[in-house]
A and B are shown apart, each in its own frame.
Chain A
């Protein structure tokens, strides 16, 4: 991570004198984006003939909802029916801001890009409505506990939360086609790359102490294959250890000046 940032700073530093010599920031464009990070807006400026700088924000407006069969489980000493549990999943919760630097090695549209994406770190945010299986006086007050000390509970409204959590600040590397600051008033660009997420680690939460006193933080713990007694055949751990997430974006820019 440190080495990557040093390379990025060095590249911008080398370009900057030429950029400023060639009237950097004299041109700017505003665009809309669509991609695996959702829909967003982006602003761009040129730092000379070979560098462009982009900054933007995107959010995934859709969510996936379904009633799922989660079987039965024991809570507070009694068996509970989770066979028809409403589940809602959002992707890239809260959206991501990004800053990207494009380097054009030639005079054409091909570029190499490096940058940073920053957001809540929740690649997936899952909400399980277990209000029918869990009694109201148990919401946020009774946990399911395991031998290894891991435990989780619903929040005070009877919703259990499971998230796939990444780094909140994720480096990006990729390639692309097109110049945000082009010759004409409108430009199309395309990005293909990878976010270095550090792995999307499934996380569960214990709200008991937070329910007792909101000044106490919500406790979070990582969900592992061992915790589900390997019923997932190790897939939870395998997916959690994939350190990257693909990124594909198409962008439409309009020149401002």
Chain B
């Protein structure tokens, strides 16, 4: 095959897995890696791939497939590895049958994440070799390298990729799919039954594979030296930092690591004798730098480069200027023009809008969770008081209620959670509410069931089956809640604004735990577009009730011949959800009739 394609890093990983003869893949959606499984789902039918219920489940599906001898890929965002850390830390002790690669998407600069953790430390913690690709071609190649390393060294492999490399596109040369036989599970108790004494030998096995990997790393082609004869400085780097450094076209030697753990210690020690100084260039924490120092290789790194955020070429120049490697900067950094800001907001027709409008008017403070509704922490809503991790809001509400009770405070509490997050890890939290439930404490849990895992691009989840027979899971949250034994439950249609408002406000006042399920589907994912609405400026009194719902197409406007500003609706953006028309006190907002011109 002699074909090239422009692929994102994510799509290249999927391609690499296909070419490597991969058989089973699992993930839970999370930026920046969501497109890996999406690509496997949509473009590679030879591979079994799934978005699992959560990351722990995904990893365990992967463990089973690898046990059975299939080449396996599991992918997730960086924080997903926290969720699957329990099986990972024990799986890493077992004998690898089918090659296993875990792809983690780290997010320097937190473009779409709740923290900035550096998962290379997870790789070391779990005694795994770690690969770090710098562009799409390497992302594809390293999946194949990783699966081979996994089988050859008897280790699950961590591929750490950063959000830029996930989403950046570049040209990739394609190859054909290798044939990889699925050997079957050996059932050797000493290799897979991980309790003592079987685990004793495994500690030595893990140690041994790292020693072998560190030795062989000196000869691996993915670690390479690019020497400049006149340079007395060696820069050790990996991933996108290599590309950003190359961009500067400097007269400096570079050691590029494809595998960042374990390090090719012997090679680096020899190089350290030859060079006056070694600089480690890496984003986030000083991982490579620390590893080098542990092995007695003198270097500097984080005293030159920030420990947080992304490092662009201009940041690299700043650091190298400090180290005296360069004398001047090539030019000034881009500074974006200081102008009006633009935070993300709920889409036109978003089913979360009326719920948060009602909660805002009720003047409550809400414990949040992870999903599109996290955006309710942003202006102008500013209604969420906390966001921590998937499924956390229910247990946080319980803990607060218990602490408040001890303090003699019975302040009512409200929490919101989406359907994907509820299935992911909200369910155990809800179950735990039954334990020592205080029936006199006013708590309200609102489950925003929009039928999809929306924030990451609308992946189907356990409840999406109600919106189409192509989705095989049709789990009713209402039934789960009832089966668990919760009695106070209301199921609402939040697009019937007045009824929804009445129901939510009743539950907000109810002494004890009540649960509200809001059932409207995601407008974006299900492409809901009905005839748009318009404002009749002659009726509009300029009260801004509609504007306050914070809907993208709605803004105040100066109409010709009308002195005061009146509301307006952008017809291209309106999807006809009717919420603005329902909050309008004077019926100035009307649905456009067929054949009628756009806004008046």
Q: Is the pairing of A and B real?
A: no
